[in-house]
Amino acid sequence: MRPQRHIIASTFSGIAIWVIGRNLPAGIILFLGGVMPDIDHVAEFIIHRGIGGISVKKVYEAFSPEHDPLFDKLYLFAHSIELVIILWLAAVFINNIYLIALAAGYALHLIMDVGGNHLSRYFYFFIWRMHKKFEVNKLFKKEVNDGFRRSNN
């Protein structure tokens, strides 16, 4: 899913929480929860290529379908349904509006990715990726792509 789509959806969701709930901090937290999971793309790039010469353009291209795969392994720590579940359990147990907003934004991000990316139905489970040893050639459907390029995250 392209970052712009996450930004747009998270902006409208954050504004809705601000206007309906009259809670600007919760709206901001929901927005951040909806866009921040993509920071793991930057971390992934640094893991494989190092920090030298990093740029927004290079990171974007590394996860773009127009370019050849750059990595043999793919971790994407923040793109994890397990983390969404943990966040929601904490939010419900603690009953804190800001934690609920964070969990909602984070869930929105992953729902958009799961629905918008043509990947295995298990891809967003970190445990499944770990079971596949994070190896790109084991993580992605061959009929969709020979690498991870069609994920378009």
pTM above 0.85, yes or no: no
For residue 150, pLDDT beyond 80 = no
- Write the DSSP string, the chain: --HHHHHHHHHHHHHHHHHHH--HHHHHHHHHHHHGGGHHHHHHHHHHH-STT--HHHHHHHT-TTS----SB---TT--HHHHHHHHHHHHHHT-HHHHHHHHHHHHHHHHHHHHS---TTTT-HHHHHHTTTBHHHHS-TTT-SSSGGG--
Which band of pLDDT confidence, cut at 50, 70 and 90, is reported for residue 151? Answer: very low
pLDDT score recorded for residue 70: 77
